[in-house]
Amino acid sequence: MTLQAPPSSPCAPANTNPIRLAAVTIEAVDQIGCAASGEIERAADDLIHGANEVADNLRKLATAIREHSKVAGVRVSDFCNKATEMMEGVRELQDTLAADHSKGNVEADGNKLPEMVRRDAGRQR
């Protein structure tokens, strides 16, 4: 059994020097490796730059949300305090009216009511 060399490729030169071919192949592999590593480094730099921009924007967003939350908290607190004051005033008025009613001191024209309530009661009549 004899081994025969594979038929040569039509693109391959007819007279090839194996040492020269090895040297050219190694040089080509080195060039491809350098080019690929350069592209990978540029891609990594772009990725890091983009990630830093996203992180900066997220920090700005977090700061804005924190500030808006503080303002919202103050406003909700003010609203709750005012609503509580109003409810206490209504409760006080109810207690006063109930006490006057139980004593029989309720006047027919409602003069004991605050002016605002009397005004509104007059409109309803």
Per-residue pLDDT, 39:
95
pTM of the model: 0.48
Chunked into runs of 10 residues, the chain (125 residues) has average pLDDT values of 59 68 89 93 97 97 97 96 93 87 64 60 54
Per-residue pLDDT, 101:
79
Per-residue pLDDT, 1:
56
**SS3 assignment for 6-66:** CCCCCCCCCCCCHHHHHHHHHHHHHHHHHHHHHHHHHHHHHHHHHHHHHHHHHHHHHHHHH
